Amino acid sequence: MDEIKLTGYTPGALGRITELHGDYYARHWDLGLYFEAKVATELAAFMNRFDAARDGAWFAHVDGRIAGAVFIDGARAADEGARLRWFILDEAYQGLGLGNRLMDAAMDFCREQRFRRVYLTTFAGLTAARHLYEKHGFRLCDEIDGTELTGNPALTEQVFEWVMGDV
């Protein structure tokens, strides 16, 4: 395998993560501009207010190119819980353990920060991602219309949560 490493932010990271989301979800789920713009806008806002004391961003690089990422938004950790967001892995690198490495880094950070609850939103049908979330202690806690998350009411949004002490 090529050289693999996890890093924090590097120039071009926001564009690359937006590209990965836009490409994957357009091809496999017919999600277009609404979804890609939502990722771009919310990811940019998050990075503009990023605080390393409560937030995390991990990028998987393969031979110097970003192949995936995961983020922890800790801004509302005290009341709502921290939020795991924008987890994505280039399809060319799926099945090689990079997703596990990214999730391990994110969840180690959450334990170090003593976040009592971490949640994520996704949608039904992402079987491999769901397996990875459940492997890391997340449990499905809600399902609702997917319009707000994806712009597509035909999809079902799912909320998963991890609670300190449950795992």
The pLDDT assigned to 146 comes to: 73
Provide the pLDDT for residue 166.
64
The reported pLDDT for the residue numbered 4 is 81
Please report, for residues 30, 52, 155, 160, the alpha-carbon distance to residue 71 in angstroms, rounded to integers and kept in the order given.
Answer: 24, 11, 23, 15
pLDDT of residue 144: 86
Torsion sign (Cα): 19, 143, 95, 52: positive
Domains and CATH numbers, the chain: 4-163 (3.40.630.30)
Q: What is the pLDDT of residues 89-135, one digit of tens each?
A: 999 999 889 999 999 999 999 999 999 999 999 989 999 899 999 99
Which stretches of the chain score pLDDT less than 50? Answer: none
In this predicted structure, what is the pLDDT of residue 111? 96
